[in-house]
Structure 1
Amino acid sequence: MGEHIIKLPDVGEGVAEAELVEWHVKVGDLVREDSVLAAVMTDKATVEIPSPVDGEILWLGAEIGDTVAIGSPIVRLKVAGEGNVKPDAAGETAKAEAPAKPAETKLAETKPEARPEPKPKPAEPAAKAAPAPAAAAKSNSGAPRPEGERPLASPAIRLRAKEAGIDLRQVSGTGPAGRISHEDIEAFLARGPQVAKASGLARNDSVEDIKVIGLRRKIAEKMSLAKSRIPHITYVEEIDVTALEELRAALNKEKRKGVERPKLTLLPFLMRAMVKAIADQPNINALFDDEAGIIHQHGGVHIGIAAQTPSGLVVPVVKHAEARDLWDCAIELNRLAEAAKSGTASRDELSGSTITITSLGAMGGVATTPVINHPEVAIVGVNKMMVRPVWDGTQFIPRKMMNLSSSFDHRVVDGWDAAVFIQRIKALLETPALIFVD
């Protein structure tokens, strides 16, 4: 028998380390070749680490949440044959990994006859061991009085209860006719959490410590970086999407023989509107290297779509939206959304955006303050669509209205330019035929 050490492989070009987010095995497990041992994450892409050999797990080299350098040992296996570790090296590895034993303490010998025999404790009186039935019945039960019944108590007792925040209806009095005394108040306070048990309520003082790892840690780092470095300006505008929704419904009903088209949502229209607006203001489609003081203005429009998945927020990217028509945008959106939800999106599909759309769908709220996806300089937020009464000059008519809440990097984009950009998108969405005009 021999030992085989598995090191963290290179999981991506230029990546020097990765975070361990999941173990699929434990010490003592038997694994087959190609069995998944662990999962690591870098730049929001999760990579599974398979076993190259059959064997038994002897040692795991990291804990979930640890950052591991590429090439570091992560698993040690017992395998048939020689393995990839020399016997002396294996012994040194095991010795280094073995926990140090505490120094032994020499105990002084004590002769058995020198030990004093423990004296039996005197038995407690039976009356003290258990309260008398009468006394138990007299104790405060904390059961609420029937609604409308006024508790009997003196003004001093009522003042004491008010100062202590006590509802006297919850206190059982031990005085004549159930009158509440100072002793009853003190007993009620001493019981503390037991009071709530009678009404089905109870205090919960538990604290659960949850380690921030994996995608959640990546999100936290990204948001902290964006908010600490980028001075945000948020611009909210109301858009009448009635005509757009009518066009969208008509296009979804249209059937073409031999042509299968995806169902259109609002997002492909917004993407095409953004492409047209960026053509007029290319400075919006940029990445700002604030350390070098350089703005990288891109010709290609690579739109990130913030998507909520079971693991957390990810941003798959529709590359070259300027070269895609409405239906091609929809096809790519559907493909990326499915890959993101299933966790199969590649690193390339989750990177490279130059501007981002964020949408909470039906839960989008009236207005939001989106956080820019650093190092981009703009993000467009889609809010909830609602039917609202709109004055047309003579009367109020129902219209489908929606807000766009968009944030910009104020170091790169002035407030006026931000407003011009959103107003251009507004004009295109409110007159959707313009989206199709080159």
Structure 2
Amino acid sequence: MSTTVKVPDIGDFKEVEVIELLVKPGDTVKVDQSLITVESDKASMEIPSSHAGVVKEISIKVGDKVSEGSVLLVLEESAAAPAPAAASPAPAPVAAPAPASAASAPAAGPSTVEVQVPDIGDFKDVEVIELMVKPGDAVKVDQSLLTVESDKASMEIPSSHAGVVKEIKVKVGDKVSKGSLILTLSAEGGAGAAPAPAAAAQPAQAAATPAPAPAPEARPAPTAALEPVPSNGAKAHASPSVRKFARELGVDLGRVKGSGPKGRILNEDVQGFVKSVMSGVAAAPGAAGAKGAGGGLQVLAWPSLDFSKFGETELQALSRIKKISGPNLHRNWVMIPHVTQFEDADVTELEEFRKDSNAAMAKSGVKLTMLAFVIKASVSALKKFPAFNASLDEKGENLILKKFYNIGFAADTPNGLVVPVIKNADAKSISQIAQEMGDLSAQARDGKLKPADMQGATFTISSLGGIGGTAFTPIINAPEVAILGLSKSAIKPVWDGKQFAPRLILPLSLSYDHRVIDGAMGARFAAYLAEVLGDMRKTLL
């Protein structure tokens, strides 16, 4: 007799991808034996067989998407297999076979049943992160007892029996594997021993009635319970990947409100919480040293001290610019994985050309600065390496490549740094860029910059050359993916193949988003930019 095996109820998981076939045609399978492994963006799970028999035909392949009710395979059931309806060829209706069977069973007193960790696939020594029952609780078959978490997934471990919890043998933080003792149950009259396979196999009782035994319910194996930890006031409802993301940011998931199905916390919820903390809308987590829901450390509360007991103090309010820029800088530093590449550019000839040009243009009122040349050289580098002139989309899944070149530059003002933007720098000459920089800088110092003057940048340059320093790590201005820092140029001895010659060296500090740009590309960009600054004729190529 052939039987079609379908995907059982797997909760909220729909259109999940088949990543592994665990059986092949000709294999003999048992009830609850795993047939395939599927994976969603939140968990992996094994799908068990609802029947026993020999695999006749497999209806799916690796890469297919399946949901509840999808056909997995066809089984050729053996006579001895505990298949539904095998006990009777004539399926006459019967009022209540299960109660009749129970009535014929001899009465028995309460017995103690040990509940162990069932087969959970490749997961071994997984950590217990939540106990979902306590002594005295009544539990049913398949009711979740505890939650465990590995570095790949979270899963709930169900009970194989029904009864009243007598003693719990594990605690939060313990490591368990298949066969580990979870708890003991006080089961009335053997009613607790009700795992699915046993319920299906009662040949003596089935033979005593002309009606077929009810079909065993197709229930997922324990590894199908890889749904994220539910929120019960103590644990957040989030997938392992979201928990990992929250740990990296130091976010306590217990403080994050989920917007997904059943209140599940998504990556966007974690990002939104961080933004609200940075903007002061939400308070930063404050349980110092405590572990968050994902197992990582929470962000410590800001220390509050009475400094006046150590000496004289003065309270000075932050400027409006610093109040606005501070949370943005903090967000960018926390959420963008920064890497900074350092490079030296030989600008000896460029500096001579700049001085000569300024002398020739003295009457025009335009003064060329080194930064104007760097802006023009940066445009050339951005064209050669377009990933630097891009932004990640909100979900972090796509790169938005920009076909325009708007360069922001940090301008020092009495109230702090602001970043005016040179629009369409690729279409402007160096003298035009210098003129516009002068105008924008003057407006910035006078506090007259308009919001539009500071928007739309695709790449930013922060120059500290007029102050000093040899190198620094500039913070990327989201949603940009890179920023260039300039330090003070200095005369250094450089070997030219025959002797050391004095050369004017401009230090470059390039910070980039490592999610978008790898180290090799970062180094190539910096090296090419230094090469262009060494010979500005390359901008014409």
Provide TM-score, normalisation by structure 2: 0.42
Q: Which runs of 5+ in 2 are unaligned?
A: 1-278, 282-308
- Give 1:46's aligned residue: none
Cα contact 1:362–1:385 (8 A) shared by 2: no
The structure 2 residue matched to 1:243, chosen from 349, 358, 379, is: 349
Any residues of structure 2 matched to 1:214-253 within 5 Å, and which?
Answer: 214-253=320-359
Any residues of structure 2 matched to 1:34-433 within 5 Å, and which?
Answer: 205-212=311-318, 214-255=320-361, 260=364, 262-291=366-395, 293-433=397-537
Aligned partners of 1:253 and 1:395: how far apart in 2? 32
Aligned partners of 2:387 and 2:396: how far apart in 1? 17
Counterparts in 2 of 1:434 and 1:261: CA distance versus 1, 3 Å: farther
Once the two structures are TM-superposed, the CA of residue 310 in structure 1 deviates from its matched residue by 0.6
Cα contact 1:355–1:376 (8 A) shared by 2: yes
Aligned partners of 2:280 and 2:340: how far apart in 1? 37
Aligned partners of 2:481 and 2:280: how far apart in 1? 32
CA offsets per residue over residues 330-366 of structure 1, 9 Å max, x none? 1111111111111000000011111100011232311
Once the two structures are TM-superposed, the CA of residue 217 in structure 1 deviates from its matched residue by 1.1
Secondary structure at the counterpart of residue 382 of structure 2: helix
Secondary structure at the counterpart of residue 323 of structure 2: helix
What letter corresponds to residue 535 of structure 2 in structure 1? Answer: T
Counterparts in 2 of 1:296 and 1:261: CA distance versus 1, 3 Å: farther
What letter corresponds to residue 235 of structure 1 in structure 2? Answer: Q
- RMSD of aligned residue pairs (Cα, Å): 2.2
Counterparts in 2 of 1:294 and 1:207: CA distance versus 1, 3 Å: farther
Aligned partners of 2:442 and 2:418: how far apart in 1? 12
CA offsets per residue over residues 50-106 of structure 1, 9 Å max, x none? xxxxxxxxxxxxxxx999xxxxxxxxxxxxxxxxxxxxxxxxxxxxxxxxxxxxxxx
What letter corresponds to residue 311 of structure 1 in structure 2? Answer: N
Cα contact 1:232–1:409 (8 A) shared by 2: yes
Cα contact 1:361–1:382 (8 A) shared by 2: yes
Cα contact 2:409–2:462 (8 A) shared by 1: yes
Once the two structures are TM-superposed, the CA of residue 427 in structure 1 deviates from its matched residue by 1.0
Aligned partners of 1:299 and 1:260: how far apart in 2? 32
Cα contact 2:361–2:367 (8 A) shared by 1: no
Cα contact 2:484–2:509 (8 A) shared by 1: yes
Counterparts in 2 of 1:418 and 1:292: CA distance versus 1, 3 Å: closer
Secondary structure at the counterpart of residue 361 of structure 1: coil
Once the two structures are TM-superposed, the CA of residue 389 in structure 1 deviates from its matched residue by 1.4
Aligned partners of 2:490 and 2:403: how far apart in 1? 35
Q: Which runs of 5+ in 1 are unaligned?
A: 1-64, 68-202
Q: Give the count of matched residue pairs.
A: 236
Secondary structure at the counterpart of residue 357 of structure 1: strand
CA offsets per residue over residues 285-321 of structure 1, 9 Å max, x none? 1122344533222111111101111111110111111
Once the two structures are TM-superposed, the CA of residue 260 in structure 1 deviates from its matched residue by 2.4
Answer 1 or 2: which has greater helix percent. 1
Provide TM-score, normalisation by structure 1: 0.51
What letter corresponds to residue 427 of structure 2 in structure 1? Answer: A
- Give 1:114's aligned residue: none
CA offsets per residue over residues 207-246 of structure 1, 9 Å max, x none? 3344446211112111101101000010000111101111
Aligned partners of 1:293 and 1:394: how far apart in 2? 51
Counterparts in 2 of 1:213 and 1:247: CA distance versus 1, 3 Å: closer
Once the two structures are TM-superposed, the CA of residue 434 in structure 1 deviates from its matched residue by 2.4
Cα contact 1:364–1:382 (8 A) shared by 2: no
Larger RCO of the pair (alpha carbons < 8 Å, separation 6+): 1
What letter corresponds to residue 217 of structure 1 in structure 2? Answer: K
What letter corresponds to residue 428 of structure 2 in structure 1? Answer: R
What letter corresponds to residue 375 of structure 1 in structure 2? Answer: P
Cα contact 1:243–1:432 (8 A) shared by 2: no
CA offsets per residue over residues 18-47 of structure 1, 9 Å max, x none? xxxxxxxxxxxxxxxxxxxxxxxxxxxxxx
* Residue range with higher mean Cα deviation, 358-367 or 247-256: 247-256
What letter corresponds to residue 407 of structure 2 in structure 1? Answer: I
Cα contact 1:261–1:327 (8 A) shared by 2: no
Aligned partners of 2:395 and 2:319: how far apart in 1? 27
Aligned partners of 2:537 and 2:514: how far apart in 1? 32
What letter corresponds to residue 305 of structure 1 in structure 2? Answer: F
Cα contact 2:371–2:463 (8 A) shared by 1: no
Is structure 2 residue 538 aligned with structure 1 residue 434? yes
